[in-house]
Structure 1
Amino acid sequence: MSEDDQQRLDKWLWFTRTVKTRSLAQKLVKGGHIRVNRERTTSPSFVLKPEDVLTIALPKRIRILKFVKAGTRRGPAVEAATLYQDLTPPPVPMTAEERARKGPAPAPDKRPDKRARRDLIRLKGTDD
């Protein structure tokens, strides 16, 4: 195995565009949100090797990535996608029951127009 096949964990996370900055990658690793081959790691300098599988706990989702090759720079997203294989399962769609329990979509953040105000007044039964 050559040096070209290995890379620091924090650097690789930044090159693959998993996080915006390298310091955020270090915080993610130090916070214990990364597992390499099912083992939790808290060292940003952990050396990744080909075929390593990373489980990354991000704020809104969990990603499972397989290390394919080391990067040389933080290039465009198309280039970053060649550094890993995404093993993350697709999200499970919500059932009709879950959608009903969640409730209607929130109202838009705008003031009601003249017609909507009059409808509200009529609905409330007040003459304000």
Structure 2
Amino acid sequence: GIIARSIELVHAFEEAYDLIEHYTPPQPSRKPVDPRPGEGSSLIESPHGPLYHYCCLNQHGIVQQAQVATPASLNLKQMEQDLRRYLPRLLTLNAQEIYHYCQQLVDSYEPSITKTTPFLSLKIGHKH
């Protein structure tokens, strides 16, 4: 076993050395670009919803203005409306359960938002 592995290791080193010795950098994949002023935008469908980008460049190709609208930001108003409609159904549960179910609802829009940012502040008051 160990002798065979040693032979394989020596062979791998020889192959790696040969690749490095005879390496030829690839040709550039595109032509050089001369900077100029301009603007552009795009809207693509990402796994979590629409993703919008906008950029405005000056004559040196430096970004002067940029806007990005992520699926989470585009869905935020609807998430808030759904939470307002959903919460009355949860009021018989304890605070931890309410938080959990609200987190599930938000995750259905954007799974990473509840894991990366504080997304929900829960205050429960009781009417007398």
The TM-score normalised by the length of structure 1 is 0.26
Q: Identify, as 1 or 2, the structure richer in helix.
A: 2
Larger Rg: 2
